[in-house]
Amino acid sequence: MYKATFEKKGAPAGTVTVSERGKVLAEADLTAEVRDTYAKWKDDPRFKAWMTDERFRYLIPKQDRERFGRTVR
């Protein structure tokens, strides 16, 4: 089960919870700001494969591949 809760007043806030059969599998606070994760994965040795390998094509939308200048052929 997926559950999202949101604050009604004040700053944007909330929590996302994933559970199964009453056991919480994951829980995290919603962020109030957009976090760019590109800096975390651009230096990963697998980055080139993610952006160019045909097998990963469905993971990255075409417009994003084109925007980053790494078009899959």
Residue 24 and residue 48: Cα distance in Å, rounded? 36
Please state the rounded mean pLDDT for residues 47-73: 68
More confident: 8 or 59: 8
pTM of the shown model: 0.44
For residue 39, the cross-strand partners are none
Please give the pLDDT value at position 20: 94
Residue 2 and residue 27: Cα distance in Å, rounded? 10
Three-state SS sequence of 16-50: EEEEECCEEEEEEECCCCCCCCHHHHCCCCCHHHH
Please state the rounded mean pLDDT for residues 32-46: 77
